[in-house]
Amino acid sequence: MFKILKYSFYDLMRSKWSYFYFLFYLLLGFLLLFLNNDVSKGIITLLNIIVVLVPLIGTIFGIMYFYNAREFTTLLLAQPIRRSHIFLGQFLGVGGSLTLCLVLGLGIPFVVYGLLRSGAIWDFGLLLVVGACLTLIFTALAFNVALGNTNRIKGFGYAVLLWLFLAIIYDGLFLLSLLIFEEYPLDTYALIGSMINPIDLSRILILLKLDISVLLGYTGAVFKSFFGTNKGLIIALLILFLWIVIPVRLMIWQGNKKDF
């Protein structure tokens, strides 16, 4: 598994798209800090970019890599190697390379602007953890979509549609349902609704750490009132990690059953 991971990681790190992804975050970090000249404000500005862009990149890279490496995967399946090791190695290689680009791309500008001497270092660390989790979640979801669809065009379309639903459409439908049933007690419903979307959960997690009550919104306020700040942070992190485990387990199950 580690050999496959290493190959997948180096293969992606040599890709020009990985350099572009790294340079994008590097320039974005320097630009935001140049305009704000404040590490804390830069973290708040990055929040909405991270929770929308990172899942999209994870989805696109994951689906493209799986389809492009299909012949190599078929060759590996003919060897005496466990299928779970093959798919886990490829998944961790893709997710690891994207996470490294994200961490280095954002980490370098913030360190240059004095992050290590700032009180916002833990907030920034949580932002990177959330970004890494979202990368792994949507990479795993993309692998699941690719395993379930042999047709590349259909698989790519389904993967982008999944990101679009979780990033944009879900919030609209959720808000509409809250307005329709506003006469009923909705606290538990809002709490569950925020947990089943990793993007919303990530946003709430960072806002809880930053303790910005104005930006929490209804679901974030409910989350805070149910669990409190520190307990809410731990629970949100555990649910986010669960969001990684479940798609990975589903990916292994699909990979073991699929006929290549």
Q: Measuring CA to CA, which residue among 59, 93, 91 is closest to residue 251?
A: 91
Which tens digit of pLDDT belongs to each residue from 154-189?
999 999 999 999 988 988 888 888 788 777 777 777
Query: 192 or 135, which is more confident?
Result: 135
Domain ranges of the chain: 2-257
Residue 109 clears pLDDT 90, i.e. is over it: no
pLDDT band at residue 140, thresholds of 50, 70 and 90?
very high
Which tens digit of pLDDT belongs to each residue from 119-137?
778 888 888 999 999 999 9
Q: What are the C-alpha distances in Å from 176 to residues 9, 36, 169, 181, 216?
A: 42, 35, 11, 9, 18
Calculate mean pLDDT across residues 232-237.
80
Cβ distance 61 to 139 under 8 Å? Answer: yes
Calculate mean pLDDT across residues 224-233.
66
